[in-house]
């Protein structure tokens, strides 16, 4: 690869990151911040050494094939890589990197915020106040449920899941988890976490379910209709991972029938479109995919992208190279 690789960035990044990329690489920026069409992504792939997409860009086989022999690297701005056809990239010999670790604390903060917001009906209360419907304090007004002493079941005990567990302990929650592989005993002891080899059994015993696993073929609709029916009627589900991990239609039906008490969602199955039925549910706290949206986090993501590109351009293996997409 040339000393100054050609780089195309698909969305607007923080100014400090864009400036540094212009200094280091032969960079084309997206100053309008409008999402590229499929055709524009194919044109970009065909004319660059390194493509820097975000999690909202669908880098499918057609985009990767359009890169031909020119495209050498996809340096994704984000932790998740489910928007990239990883097998197609692997077949073409294209290196794929992401930006792990830097979003852990921010996403865990937002997960904990939703764990608090849903049982305590925070957004419902704020909306009532703003609408002028609040008539003052009452012993029976806006009653929710405490989380202290409740059981939290974490699906996916990676970095974010562990960070959620640390926060949860401070709020008096009993921490339980299901993961593809059991974490080390020292981590379990530190977090006071109980491992469940059976996801079904864990779900059936929890008061709150937090989804913190990545979206892969193995986790698509992991929380499906059958598993939602295992949940207790007073239980809540929180998702700050990817919308596709939950069967959204099944969740909506369960909420409408009050078979599940509530949901806190930062991600959606067809985002940016949000199912209109979700918008009507008072039992759902809905956020616009802002779990990692901190200034510090976005800059740190950009810095990782730069390091990954420079490392690869220098002929070395990037630290954040994606090896597989298994859960």
Walking along the chain (327 residues) 10 residues at a time, the average pLDDT comes out as: 88 98 98 94 98 96 96 95 94 96 96 98 96 96 97 97 98 98 97 98 98 94 98 98 97 98 97 96 97 96 98 95 69
Residue 119 is predicted with a pLDDT of 98
* Domains of the chain, earliest start first: 6-100+294-313 (3.40.50.720), 104-286 (3.40.50.720)
One of 83, 167, 178, 242 is an active-site residue; which one? 242
One of 20, 128, 205, 289 is an active-site residue; which one? 289
159 is catalytic: no
CA distance 237 to 116: 12
Residues forming a β-bridge with 246: 223
The interaxial angle of helices 295-313 and 15-24, nearest 10 deg, is 10
289 is catalytic: yes
Q: Which two tokens stand for residue 109?
A: 């903060």
pTM value is: 0.90
Beta strand ranges found along the chain (DSSP E): 6-9, 26-28, 50-52, 73-75, 95-97, 151-155, 174-178, 193-195, 208-211, 236-239, 262-265, 284-286
Residue 36 is predicted with a pLDDT of 96
One of 43, 188, 190, 271 is an active-site residue; which one? 271
Please return the burial class of 60, using the count of CB atoms within 10 Å of its CB with bins 0-12, 13-18 and 19+.
middle
């Amino acid at each position: 690869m040339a000393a100054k690789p050609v780089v195309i960035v698909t969305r607007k990044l923080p100014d400090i990151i864009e400036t540094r990329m212009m200094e280091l690489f032969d960079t084309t920026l997206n100053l309008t911040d409008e999402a590229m069409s499929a055709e524009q992504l194919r044109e970009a792939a065909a004319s660059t050494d390194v493509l820097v997409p975000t999690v909202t860009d669908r880098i499918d086989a057609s985009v990767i094939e359009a890169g031909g022999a020119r495209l050498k690297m996809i340096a994704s701005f984000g932790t998740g890589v489910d928007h990239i056809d990883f097998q197609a990239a692997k077949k073409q010999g294209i290196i794929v990197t992401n930006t792990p670790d830097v979003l852990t604390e921010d996403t865990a903060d937002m997960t904990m915020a939703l764990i608090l917001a849903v049982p305590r009906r925070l957004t419902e209360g704020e909306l009532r106040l703003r609408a002028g419907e609040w008539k003052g304090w009452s012993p029976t007004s806006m009653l929710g449920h405490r989380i202290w002493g409740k059981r939290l079941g974490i699906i996916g005990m990676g970095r974010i899941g562990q960070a959620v567990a640390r926060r949860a302990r401070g709020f008096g929650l009993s921490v339980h988890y299901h993961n593809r592989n059991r974490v080390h005993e020292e981590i379990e002891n530190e977090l006071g976490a109980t491992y469940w080899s059976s996801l079904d059994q864990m779900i059936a015993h929890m008061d709150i379910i937090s989804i913190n696993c990545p979206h892969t073929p193995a986790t698509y609709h992991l929380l499906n209709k059958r598993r939602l029916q295992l949940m207790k009627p007073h239980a809540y589900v929180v998702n700050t991972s990817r919308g596709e991990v939950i069967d959204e239609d099944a969740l909506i039906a369960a909420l409408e029938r009050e078979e599940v008490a509530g949901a806190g969602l930062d991600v959606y199955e067809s985002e940016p479109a949000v199912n209109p039925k979700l918008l009507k549910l008072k039992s759902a706290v809905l956020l616009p995919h802002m779990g990692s949206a901190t200034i510090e986090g976005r800059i740190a993501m950009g810095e990782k992208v730069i390091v990954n590109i420079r490392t690869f351009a220098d002929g070395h293996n990037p630290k954040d190279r994606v090896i597989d997409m298994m859960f």
